[in-house]
Structure 1
């Protein structure tokens, strides 16, 4: 082989090696380059019903969000990111983002309720099993001694509060023309007692309502500081919607009201 042919083959081999090296570097660079994030919209459901307050965490990027009242959410995600769906009453779910997820107009994420089944135990000395119907049949119960069990007269009459007794005394009287209601009406005492009675009943209604929601729940779930708890309760009670919701008795709507008020309270007091 001539020297010129040998030199040509060496140059050709070097060119091929150079092109291969550049191609390999391009692939490595493409693999190391992060994929751009896109906003992913979805809905968390259980049997086609939207699940509110579901925590959605992108474990890859660290971003997080919470589903709204209809179960809808939006979060930035890239291809192969891992999303974690978590809520107290539902099983945790992990989802690795693929191309079809990014291309979907709305990502539907079904979740399953979490049921913590415990082994049956028997509690001494009453041999309680945990089944309320069975335990109530087997549990010895002594009869409570009360005015009703003793058959006393007026046993079912509701005992009036001090304010109710004062108002009754102020608005009743004897004689052809009862002077007591007239004097108390003119002096304004009757009006004052009616306002006090309305305030007492409102206070008692609020007290019974707050018993349904322990302070520990308000501290953890609504993120209200311990030293601001009573102030937050008053902040809720002065809202006209509070009395309407307490009269309605819907605890779910009342809790949703507390969540909205907690956001306003933290905002107004710069607690966030």
Structure 2
């Protein structure tokens, strides 16, 4: 009778220990990777415990979890991925997750014969082709929305993750970092647009800027606050501005 009581007590103690182990949270460290390497600011959400984290620029993350919790990995450019925390994951030193890019593809493409001869010029003249269907031709409301850059996608992902993600971004400084990246990319894109609006020969012959110094000259213009105020489509005003800046640039670098 005493032995039976002891066995019963041991059984309940072991069961209680196992139950306690299952309910104790543990920090899981890991890394997210993808084919293109763009894994910064990927959301890592423990949907069971409503705890979240964000990967750093190299894809590393740390999140609290218990046995059987569900962890969701998501980003705008990736397919959503879920894993269930197992004993092996809790016991491992690192968790490595590979994300697949989001794909919008047709399930099947059917090529119909049109008695083509194989001569491209002749076949194009024979075929009556309807105007291509586009968002603009269909009158869709998003027809003229510009495609977001990589930095803008990350910022949008950070903002659209809900109140919890917004708080995490604000506390960690991630929101500020993404905003600065977005601003730098917008400035770079604008300067690159203006740079390509004029042929290299104009920089060399009219502004007297050597070919290998053109990009440096554009940066010299960019740091001037007046440059940002110019309309990037007003070529005449931009050219007059760069003409004035070329004198200062050549003088600074003794190019005359």
Q: Same fold per TM (> 0.5)?
A: no
TM-score of the two chains, using structure 2 as the length reference? 0.44
Structure ID, larger Rg: 1
TM-score under structure 1 length normalisation: 0.42
With a CA cutoff of 8 Å and minimum separation of 6, indicate the structure with the bigger relative contact order. Answer: 2
